[in-house]
Amino acid sequence: MQSERRKIRVLVVDDSALMRKLISKLLEGDPEIEVIATAIDGSFALAKVAQLKPDVVTLDVDMPRMDGLTALSEMVSKHHTPVIMLSSLTTRGASLTMQALEKGAVDFVCKPTGTARLPEMAEELVSKIKAAARTNVSALNTSLPGVPPIKKLRPLTGQGRGAGRIVAIGASSGGPHALRYLLPRIPADLDAGIVIVQHMPESFTSMLAHWLNEICELQVKEAESGDLALPGHALIAPGNQHLKVRKTPQGCQVLLEGGASVNGHKPSVDVLFRSVAAEYGTLGTGIIMTGMGSDGARGLGEIKDAGGLTVAQDKESCAVYGMPRIATEKGYAEKVVALSELASYLVTKVGRIAELENTYACK
């Protein structure tokens, strides 16, 4: 019975007394969560993590004395504690959050600018804490050895490979770290454009794209409506907009739409995958990666039904084995692959452009 399960023990860390009180009250409204302590900064937080061994820590990014990033590193590396970051919806907040995800934070929640959004934040925070309690923290410590030196290539001019293959990737919690591992290992001459939905709010997706572009041979950017997802490119759906693809003579064109959330998300992985199935059929590839919930599972099934290639990240390498689990259990994923093997598997199945030098001009 659910009521007989041990409660998830949470440590709340924030330099604001008001936020500590509000967050604790919001969390204690859920019968599965118990706030065991609070801390005013990273130094006090580390002492309480060592003493109390919480199941999950909610950690403010920006604090005096010892900030969240400094404390996070030790929480993850020494104590192997799942951490949810609390961030502000600012450019600085987005930048600090990217650094936190790189250091091993499971996920993040944006602090509301006013009390009116507190119930919305509470729902998101509770669901992410429950997912974090089941997180494989070691998957977030995966290093990046052996990535070749970056060799950026000039973008195609629009007369590229035309309407060839497309690879669509969907991820949620743990996704930024998984993408940071995967994308640098994908060669720019992969015979497909890449489109990505990562569950993130506005302003954070552009920071994610910039963060990934710095370490990839691929050209990575936040998608704009009308962009072409050609070989050598990876386009990331902007926060708060769905991304669809359309097959054109010039290549894979991306379209951005507003509208309602799907499966509680905007952008939604299902929206992307369904458009890939409809437009690309056997030339489409869907990859569902780490994340909580079920977004993307049905869309992956549609890609499979259309004759495309469908892949799920395996349990052992997922930080949160939610979305891939649903897709695998329902039989939508033809192949289950470890994160460490995913790039080579993709290259084997999709192929590479043989005459790269005739299509690209190196800088």
pLDDT for res 356: 45
- Given a contact cutoff of 8 angstroms between Cβ atoms, the answer to whether 290 and 173 are in contact is yes
β-strand partners of 327 = none
pLDDT for res 141: 65
Q: How confident is the model at residue 89 (pLDDT cuts 50, 70, 90)?
A: low
Is 127 tagged catalytic? no
pLDDT exceeds 60 at position 1:
no
Using omega within 30 degrees of 0 as the cis cutoff, is the peptide bond preceding 54 cis?
no
Yes or no: is domain 165-359 CATH 3.40.50.720?
A: no
Is 73 tagged catalytic? no
**Cα distance between residue 273 and residue 275, in whole Å:** 5
Mean pLDDT confidence for 205-227: 94
Is 16 tagged catalytic? no
User: Which among 24, 87, 172, 268 is annotated as catalytic?
Assistant: 172
Is the pLDDT higher at 144 or at 207?
Answer: 207
Give the lowest-confidence range in 81-95, 176-190, 212-226.
81-95
User: Which among 14, 189, 227, 295 is annotated as catalytic?
Assistant: 295
User: Which among 60, 87, 199, 242 is annotated as catalytic?
Assistant: 199
> Same fold for the domain at 2-135 and the one at 165-359?
yes
pLDDT for res 363: 43
β-strand partners of 170 = 197, 288
Give the tens place of pLDDT for each residue, 27-45. 999 999 999 999 999 999 9
pLDDT for res 95: 85
Crossing angle of helices 175-182 and 339-350, rounded to 10°: 50
Mean pLDDT confidence for 107-135: 84
Sketch the domain layout of the chain as residue ranges.
2-135, 165-359
Is the pLDDT higher at 355 or at 187?
Answer: 187
Give the lowest-confidence range in 72-76, 252-256, 336-340.
72-76
pLDDT for res 62: 78
Yes or no: is domain 2-135 CATH 3.40.50.2300?
A: yes
Mean pLDDT confidence for 343-348: 96
State residue 202 phi and psi, 5-degree precision. -55, 150
Chain mean pLDDT for the chain: 88
pLDDT more than 70, % of the chain: 88
